[in-house]
Structure 1
Amino acid sequence: MSGTYCFMNSVVQAFASLSYLRPQIEDIHARAVALDVETPVIDSLRDLLHALNIPHSSPRAIKPIQLINALSVDPEGRTNPLLFSREHQDAQELFQLLSECIKREATAVDKEYLRDRGLGAISNTNGSSRHKNLGFTVFDGLTANRRSCVVCGYTEAVMHFSFDNWQLAVPRVPYCTIYDCLHDYTRLEKLTDCICRKCSVLATHQKLLAEAERMTALMTIEPNPSPSRKKRVREARKLEGRVKTAIEEGRIEEDIPGVKLEKVYSKESTKQVMVARAPHVLTLHLNRSLHFGYYASKNTCQVEFPEFLDLSPFATSGQLSTKPDLPISSPHQLHQLAPSATQSHHRTLYQLSAVVCHYGQHSYGHYICYRRKPRPVSAGAARFFPPKLPCPWDCRCERCIQFGPIRVDDGFDNRRRPGYGWLRISDDSVQEVGFETVALESSSAFMLFYEKVLQPRVSSARQQATKGSEDTVRPEDALSKEPKLAQEGDTQSQGSGSRTKDVQPRVVRNVSTRRPDSPIPQPKPKAPGLLVSTPSLMRGGSYYNAQSQQPQSQPQANGHVRMPATASESWYRPASPPQLHPPPHSNSPSKSQSRVPVPSTTAIQYQPQRLQI
């Protein structure tokens, strides 16, 4: 492979750490196979993410040839120079490319799903959300944008725009926090060069009124005005009446037939952007570029980022303000509710999953990735559980003190010790570190990946008070997507799920020839105490994990991970956490299955990898 691929290594490793992304990739892949839709990027990314999270018995290098080939050509047939160049590339550009490809292929699958259902999709009550959320991905969120004129007090309609990442400008100061960057992004801005619609309509009305009065006065002076002059006076008063009626009825945004509006620039107006619907995966891009004429440099400001992020101060509540001098929505409005309804459930909490860092200057350098250590295979379906807040934020119970308020499962979330729980991946070098090491990368942090924390279900009154502005305008647009995890021995979950159980592929197609299903290769059972390793995406090296032989622990069913069940009729619902514990019978293997003891995961020690040229 030609070129420098450290930017790809860091981004794909960050993707592999996202617990929300893996179930959606599996869901799209299963429906694409059932509907015979080509999804080359999702197929290659699915296999790559699986390989990066499964241990292997020997060190080896992973070459993402399939993913590079899938990304190298766009739908129009043009070659993408991002992956075929020896020049320094941008990790954020690759993230944008991957996000767009996932969204495009997910949209194609959703459209084919609706086309196959025909009239059934119209009669189905669940079809409304499917139509409005075509191609929805875990990175997608909505922002509420408002622009108001301070002179006349007019506020345009609050517009909602989708986003998959936020580009935060890093200030030119020695030190700041990520909250400072978010506050600067969502603060109330003052503008002086915006055209105000209402001021333009008012100015147009004054001009037409003055013109009509002038022509009327001239007509009264003449003893015998001509018919053409009378017609012009009638037309002027007609246009003035249309504009006056539009002002009185509040139809400022509507076009007025026959009237050309005057463009009036407001002397002072305000603009603000806030989060209307928080995404499942919040991706923050720290823009460190500084431009001085024709010269560009890198901003090395130390941006402190926390392990747990509270997005509530930057998100809208159920009440929106149209006053120009006030924010769109203020979090303090929630405090007006009863104390029993104002627990910590209104918080929009996120947990850090990966950090992409850049070393070097603006035009060259090296990318590395810090990601959370993959959960052991013995965790089963819990390997892909998103972070959860099982107790109130200020709870002081024994489990919250031991494992923290935000956790996945008490039995496996034991990585809060210093020096453990995170992996530092730099090409062929992989080391296990703690969050205290990750936090030291404040001057080189380039991209932050946060995952939304699932919270307990709240009451209906609380939901009405805390829903975002986008849900306030269209409550039927709320997502109804819940994950379902596959059970042991379920061999049909990848291609036939509840989401597509009423979808029959067309008989004229041949899925086996056009769109073959490439199942994930399952690891072979290993003897107890055998060396295992976690593969890394790199150019010419590999690494392994030295593990001492441990006594036989609790046996695992078949030695491989239970993948999340795909193709469910609905996916993640933000207000409704998924079932975090599989049914009791899911962990009981049949007698015919092989029972292979799994070595203890606490003895794994990560060592620098060895290059294999």
Structure 2
Amino acid sequence: MNGRDGLLWKNYKLNSSSLRLILIGSLFTASSYVLGPSIISWLFPRRKAANKRSKRLDQYTTGLFNSGNYCFANSSVQALASLPPLTVYLNGIFKAMEDIYILLKEESDDQETVQLGETEDQGDDLCWELRSLHGIDFRMHIALGKVLHNLQQPIKSPRNASLYELLSTIEEIHHCRISSYQQDAQEFSQLLIETLENEFNRFKKFLSENVNRTDAVSLPLFPFNGFMANSIVCMKCNRSARVKLQPFNMYLQQIPQTTSVLLETLIHDSQAEIIEDYSCLVCKLNEIFANERQHGLDNKNDSDKSLLQELDRVFPTLAINDYLPDPLATFVSSYSMNRVSFTHTKSRIVKKTVLVNSPEVLIIHLSRSVFNGYSHSKNNCKVNFEEYLNVKEQIIESSKCVGVLSVRYKLMSVTVHSGTHTRGHYQCYRRKPNFERDCKTPSKFMSSAAVFLPSLPKNHSSHSNADIDSIESNTNHNNVMDNGRETSFEKEAKRSMNNQTLSDPPKLSPIPHAFHNHTTYPSTKCSSYSSNVTNNVSSQPLTSIELASSALSDSLSDSHQRLSSTDILAASPPNNKRSGKTLKIASTLPWWKISDTKVSEHKLTTLLFETKNVYMLYYQRIQA
């Protein structure tokens, strides 16, 4: 081979190598184009789900970001989003905010109003003006309403939001810092509910003291308020104690250290308790009378005889925990005859805690914390629960049980905790809602029970008396919700839904930073609201027993007129412009399982198998 042929051969080899490289590159590019999406979806399944769009409205719901250990807050708020009574309550409060604003402007001699600029979020302007001008604080209601409004919107593709504004509001109200370290979902829920209740009670007090036309403002029932009663019976004398009412908003159940237990059995067994060495007043008097009959009254002076006669007169109506007036109490405590004293007489009693006014939403907290003297651990007892729960409600009259009612509840959401006592993760199961078609935009659907945020009424300084009379007439028609008049927050909700497609992502708040530990605040209990607030309500503070007794008497006297939130929603007039055709959800997968931003669909059986991790159950009262 000469030099020319060698050069040609080298060029041929070089060209062949280039062609092979080009061919390999082309094949790699083509294979990447064809197989790339499949490989990416296999390596990153969440990215595939995030980009997937569903034809069903009930496949996805909005998740919540978790930048640290905020799963305790995320699961607690997600559980509240599936409670129709809470939605009814918030909508009623927001409507009352608009009504009270109009009335205060009409009653004020000064018609000048504070001019506010446009705010980014609904409800902020009205909340700010009511707070700045009249001291009415609804910051917690507005913050929670925003979150629930977002979580209740139907979506066709995954999206997420943040609890930054809600957590910041709680910190601002209580002057505390919420830590990002491991926290308890029950403590967070308790703090959230009590903050709502405090704002609600202050608003009721404001109405009774400052508003002359309180019949034009209608307040809903606080959905978490209920009452328990302690029924005590002495096993020696068979007398009972005066019933003491205790308001509650969360039903605590201590789980036994056994393998498994049924929820209804747990509730029934926890209501009864045997107490030894109880100081029974009736048993003491029985022994004093028996001793006097045996030895006679000859050795008694006139003062002691008079006291014994007075004790004999009041004895038939005494309860075992009554307090005697001072002369009689001193005589009984110092009584001694023949060197025999009956002041230390003890009896055995049965204490039973019963429901006397069941709340619209029954939150059951299953306490799994066990202390062995050195450290805490988690009780892994399996608690078997069902979709429906039946509880007994006793009718109390004159401190005695005169009847028993059967109350039925339906499970709406569940919070579960997996892991140990010190390290774990909270998740939430939510029941899917039904969806209603928007009449103005038939292609749009909204949740059948959704929160609608309030807004500052336009031309609020120029309302006529006819407008006020119209408000008064509408509120008297239904003292819980006014579905006949389309309020401004309903109009605003429709407008916002018409301008936003179902797949549009929400505006996300910044991720919260690490907070410090928060302090525990005392509970401020109050009774459920009696519809018409009068101006002659005393401004003096009442004890919890006085509040409970007053509210219970009102509740029992009007029990035949009591409506549940289900009845309220069902009683909406047919011409309500907010709703239209109802879209029923698929019965095969009626539950969402939400772990922060991860949302999946599940059957009821999957939820009922969470016996080892179930931590909080949210039941809605329904008709039996």
| Range of TM-score over shorter length | 0.5 to 0.7
Give the SS at the match of 2:326. Answer: coil
Matched, 1:483 2:568: no
Shift of 1:371: 0.5
Partner of 2:73: 8
Alpha-carbon distance in 2 for matches of 1:484, 1:249: 47
Give the SS at the match of 1:99. Answer: helix
Which of residues 32, 44, 64 in structure 1 aligns to 2:163?
Answer: 64
Matched, 1:181 2:266: yes
Pairs within 5 Å for 1:402-441: none
Shift of 1:298: 0.7
Alpha-carbon distance in 2 for matches of 1:384, 1:30: 15
Cα-Cα RMSD:
4.7
Q: Is the 8 A contact 1:243 1:256 kept in 2?
A: no
Pairs within 5 Å for 1:119-158: 136-158=221-243
Q: Is the 8 A contact 2:229 2:354 kept in 1?
A: yes
Q: Is the 8 A contact 1:57 1:532 kept in 2?
A: no
After superposition, give the CA deviation of every residue in 1:59-97 in whole Å (9 maximum; x if it has no partner): 5532223321221145xxx6334x1x2321110111111
Q: Cα gap change, 1:569/1:239 in structure 2, threshold over 3 Å: closer, same or farther?
A: closer
Matched, 1:247 2:329: no
Q: Cα gap change, 1:373/1:153 in structure 2, threshold over 3 Å: closer, same or farther?
A: same
Q: Cα gap change, 1:203/1:608 in structure 2, threshold over 3 Å: closer, same or farther?
A: closer
Structure 1, unaligned runs of 5 or more? 217-232, 323-327, 332-345, 387-479, 496-517, 541-566, 590-594
Q: Cα gap change, 1:295/1:579 in structure 2, threshold over 3 Å: closer, same or farther?
A: closer
Partner of 1:223: none
Which of residues 147, 152, 159 in structure 2 aligns to 1:53?
Answer: 152
Alpha-carbon distance in 2 for matches of 1:269, 1:140: 29
Shift of 1:99: 1.3
| Equivalent AA in structure 1 for residue 378 of structure 2 | K
Q: Cα gap change, 1:573/1:482 in structure 2, threshold over 3 Å: closer, same or farther?
A: farther
Alpha-carbon distance in 1 for matches of 2:363, 2:176: 23
Alpha-carbon distance in 2 for matches of 1:192, 1:608: 47
Q: Is the 8 A contact 1:168 1:287 kept in 2?
A: yes
Partner of 1:25: 90
Q: Is the 8 A contact 1:110 1:135 kept in 2?
A: no
Matched, 1:200 2:284: yes
Q: Cα gap change, 1:526/1:67 in structure 2, threshold over 3 Å: closer, same or farther?
A: closer
Partner of 1:296: 376
Matched, 1:94 2:188: yes
Alpha-carbon distance in 2 for matches of 1:108, 1:91: 26
Q: Is the 8 A contact 1:29 1:39 kept in 2?
A: no
Give the SS at the match of 1:268. Answer: strand
Matched, 1:577 2:567: yes
Alpha-carbon distance in 2 for matches of 1:302, 1:191: 28
| Equivalent AA in structure 2 for residue 585 of structure 1 | N
Q: Cα gap change, 1:538/1:57 in structure 2, threshold over 3 Å: closer, same or farther?
A: farther
Task: Specify the structure having the higher radius of gyration (Cα).
Answer: 2
Shift of 1:109: 1.2
Alpha-carbon distance in 1 for matches of 2:162, 2:247: 33
Q: Is the 8 A contact 1:484 1:579 kept in 2?
A: no
| Equivalent AA in structure 2 for residue 27 of structure 1 | G
Shift of 1:52: 0.8
Shift of 1:245: 2.8
| Equivalent AA in structure 1 for residue 303 of structure 2 | E
Shift of 1:56: 5.4
Partner of 1:159: 244
Alpha-carbon distance in 2 for matches of 1:537, 1:6: 17
Shift of 1:284: 0.6
Shift of 1:249: 6.0
Alpha-carbon distance in 1 for matches of 2:484, 2:292: 70
Higher RCO, Cα 8 Å, sep 6+: 2
Which of residues 182, 185, 204 in structure 2 aligns to 1:110?
Answer: 204
Matched, 1:258 2:327: yes
Matched, 1:276 2:364: no
Which of residues 411, 434, 440 in structure 2 aligns to 1:375?
Answer: 434
Shift of 1:574: 3.8
Pairs within 5 Å for 1:38-49: 38-49=137-148
Shift of 1:15: 0.6
Alpha-carbon distance in 1 for matches of 2:211, 2:283: 50
Q: Cα gap change, 1:321/1:43 in structure 2, threshold over 3 Å: closer, same or farther?
A: closer
| Equivalent AA in structure 2 for residue 352 of structure 1 | L
Which of residues 340, 347, 351 in structure 2 aligns to 1:267?
Answer: 347
Q: Cα gap change, 1:93/1:572 in structure 2, threshold over 3 Å: closer, same or farther?
A: farther
Q: Is the 8 A contact 1:176 1:304 kept in 2?
A: yes
| Equivalent AA in structure 2 for residue 350 of structure 1 | Y
Give the SS at the match of 1:573. Answer: coil
Q: Is the 8 A contact 2:88 2:565 kept in 1?
A: no
Shift of 1:236: 3.0
Which structure carries more helix by proportion? Answer: 2
Alpha-carbon distance in 2 for matches of 1:184, 1:7: 29
Q: Cα gap change, 1:95/1:538 in structure 2, threshold over 3 Å: closer, same or farther?
A: farther
Partner of 1:316: 394
| Percent identical | 23
Q: Is the 8 A contact 1:175 1:303 kept in 2?
A: yes
Shift of 1:20: 0.6
| Equivalent AA in structure 1 for residue 430 of structure 2 | R
Q: Is the 8 A contact 1:152 1:199 kept in 2?
A: yes
Q: Cα gap change, 1:72/1:201 in structure 2, threshold over 3 Å: closer, same or farther?
A: farther
Give the SS at the match of 1:370. Answer: strand
Q: Is the 8 A contact 1:242 1:256 kept in 2?
A: no
Alpha-carbon distance in 2 for matches of 1:535, 1:183: 47
Report how many aligned residue pairs link the two structures.
408
Which of residues 488, 493, 498 in structure 2 aligns to 1:492?
Answer: 488
| Equivalent AA in structure 2 for residue 178 of structure 1 | L
| Equivalent AA in structure 2 for residue 18 of structure 1 | L
Structure 2, unaligned runs of 5 or more? 1-65, 102-129, 131-135, 334-342, 439-444, 452-477, 513-529, 534-560, 599-624
Q: Cα gap change, 1:523/1:584 in structure 2, threshold over 3 Å: closer, same or farther?
A: closer
Give the SS at the match of 1:485. Answer: coil
Q: Is the 8 A contact 1:144 1:273 kept in 2?
A: yes
Q: Cα gap change, 1:268/1:283 in structure 2, threshold over 3 Å: closer, same or farther?
A: same
Which of residues 53, 66, 79 in structure 1 aligns to 2:175?
Answer: 79
| Equivalent AA in structure 2 for residue 376 of structure 1 | F
Alpha-carbon distance in 2 for matches of 1:157, 1:235: 29
Partner of 1:413: none
Shift of 1:29: 2.8
Shift of 1:136: 4.8
Q: Is the 8 A contact 1:149 1:266 kept in 2?
A: no
Give the SS at the match of 1:42. Answer: helix
Q: Is the 8 A contact 1:32 1:109 kept in 2?
A: no
Shift of 1:486: 6.1
| Equivalent AA in structure 2 for residue 523 of structure 1 | M
Shift of 1:286: 0.7
Moved more, 99-108 or 157-166: 157-166
Shift of 1:281: 0.5
Give the SS at the match of 1:89. Answer: coil
Q: Is the 8 A contact 2:253 2:266 kept in 1?
A: yes
Shift of 1:48: 0.9
Q: Is the 8 A contact 1:199 1:264 kept in 2?
A: no
Q: Is the 8 A contact 1:166 1:283 kept in 2?
A: yes
Q: Is the 8 A contact 1:56 1:535 kept in 2?
A: no
Give the SS at the match of 1:189. Answer: strand
Which of residues 496, 500, 503 in structure 2 aligns to 1:522?
Answer: 496
